Amino acid sequence: DGSRPAAGDALPRLDGNVAGALILGGKYDVEMQGEYPFLRDELRFIDDVLKRDLPFLGICLGGQLLAHALGQDVGRHHGGYAEYGYYDLIPTAEGRELFGEGLKVLQSHWHGWYETPKGATRLAYTGNFPEQAFRYGSQAYGLQFHPEATRATLERWIGRRPADRHQLKGAHPPDRQLADNLVHDEGLGRWFET
């Protein structure tokens, strides 16, 4: 099911035909639940997925929602940092099995500051954000980075992103993001496919 709750679609019913769930990113932040009630629906959906022990992958906002569903506050970096572009993903000892010695990963966020949820295993981090990948149980994963994005996706994000976001500490300018895409996208895509 390819439902889009932000556009008014209902979330799929979890029944015996559902093998797993994926929640992608978006322009919303976890604390915007009052303004965007679909975020509360997605949090209830995640709770249901976890109770059923179904495989789950949350990417960017999806990972932040998973962390929040597990009791973590999610917000802005306390020092005002953002990540737009490609950054070194640094695996923990537990994360090396999944990430090897590390990857260059595509980031597109100014929120995403949170600690590893209680009961979860931290798998990777970047220089400015302590949580880039975590596992909860054996089948639920939260990622802050974007292995699913194509070059067209990156170009669309750059085109609609407010210009002041590129001025935030740590953010790469659009021309560097596009140049780095040519260097790092293929390797990130190979990792994601495997």
Q: With H, G, I as helix, E, B as strand and everything else as coil, classify residue 152.
A: helix
Residue from 42, 60, 83, 172 carrying the catalytic annotation = 60
Q: Let me know the angle formed at the C-alpha of 10 by 111 and 48, rounded to the nearest 5 degrees.
A: 70
Helix (H) or strand (E) holding 87: strand 83-91
68 noted as active-site residue: no
Neighbours of 146 (CB within 10 A): 21
Cα of 136 vs its chain's centroid, Å: 15
Residue from 68, 77, 111, 146 carrying the catalytic annotation = 146
Residue from 31, 94, 115, 148 carrying the catalytic annotation = 148
CA distance 65 to 70: 9
146 noted as active-site residue: yes
User: Residue 124: which of 139, 110, 142, 111 has the closest Cα?
Assistant: 142
CA distance 110 to 191: 24
109 noted as active-site residue: no
Q: Phi-psi category of 85—alpha, beta or left, where left has phi over 0 and alpha has psi -120 to 50?
A: left
User: Residue 51: which of 14, 76, 88 has the closest Cα?
Assistant: 14
- Residues with a known catalytic role: 60, 146, 148
